[in-house]
Amino acid sequence: MNRSPVLELRQVHKLYQGRTPLHVLRGVDLALFPGELVGIIGVSGSGKSTLLNIMGLLDPPTQGRLYIQGRDVTGLAGADAAAVRRDLFGFVFQNSCLLAEFTLGENLIIPIHLAGRRPTSDELARARRLLGDLGLGELANRRPGEVSAGERQRAALARALVGRPKALLADEPTGSLDEGNSHQLFSLLRGWVEEESIAAAVVTHDVELARHYCHRLLSLSGGKLASG
C-alpha cells in the first residue's frame, strides 16, 4: 500500500464565534491513506460533520493546515476549491442531495456534466454497474421522490463513486437503511475502497458496524480525535 496520505489534517481547530463561542475542533490531526476505510464516531453535536466539511474544503478551519496529496490547500476557496473537490473527492451527505427532477441514473452522471464534459461509455457502464451492485438497477429510471430514503442514500453513494475519486467522505450513509442493507453497503464500500485505493472517511452512529468493516475507528470527543 502506498503510505503517502491522500488527505492530512494538522492541528486543525474550528471555533464558531457568537454570544457563546463554540470551540468544536481542538487540534485535530488525521491522515487518510489509499485503500483505507476510516470510521468516525461521536455523540450528536460533537463536530463530526464539521470535520468532514473541513476535510472536503467545504468549510475552512479556524487554525491549522489541510494537505491533499501533499499540497497545502488550507487557503483555497471559490473556484480553486471547487476544482479540487470535483477532481479528487466523492461526497455522500446525510440527506443524499439528489436532484428531484432527474432520475437516479441521471443523478449519477450530473457531476460529470458539471465538469463541462459528456460522460464516457466507461463512466456510463460504471454508473449502471454501481446501481446494480447496490440493488438499484431496476430503479435507474425512477426519480428520487419515487424511491425510499434508503434507496436515495445508496444512489448517493453510487454517484460519489462514479468519477473514481481519490478520497471519499460520507456522512451517515446507512442512516436510513435497515441492518441487512447497512451490512451490505459497508461490505461493498470496503471492497471498493480496497480495490480502487480510495482514502475514505465515514461518519456513522453504528459503532459495531464500523468496528466490523472499517480499517480504523476514531472517536471525536471534546474536539479531539482518539482511537475508537
- pLDDT tens by residue, 184-217: 999 999 999 999 999 999 999 999 999 999 999 9
Residue 58 has pLDDT above 50, yes or no: yes
The reply to whether 39 falls in a domain is yes
The reply to whether 191 falls in a domain is yes
User: What does pTM read for this prediction?
Assistant: 0.93
Mind listing the pLDDT tens digit for each residue in 146-187? 999 999 999 999 999 999 999 999 999 998 899 999 999 999
Compute the mean pLDDT over every residue in the chain, rounded to the nearest whole number: 93
**CA torsion through residues 186, 188, 190, 192, sign:** negative
Average pLDDT over residues 87-91: 94
The reply to whether 33 falls in a domain is yes
Query: Please, which pLDDT band fits residue 2 given cuts at 50, 70 and 90?
Result: low
Output 69 or 96, whichever has higher pLDDT: 69
The reply to whether 44 falls in a domain is yes
The reply to whether 1 falls in a domain is no
Taking the C-alpha atoms of 25, 50, 54 and 5 in order, what is their torsion angle to the nearest 10 degrees? 80
Q: What is the pLDDT of residue 140?
A: 96
Q: Structural domain tally of the chain? A: 1
The reply to whether 2 falls in a domain is no
The reply to whether 167 falls in a domain is yes
Q: Are 62 and 26 in contact (CB under 8 A)?
A: no
Structural domain that includes position 176:
7-227
User: What is the domain-level CATH number for residue 113?
Assistant: 3.40.50.300
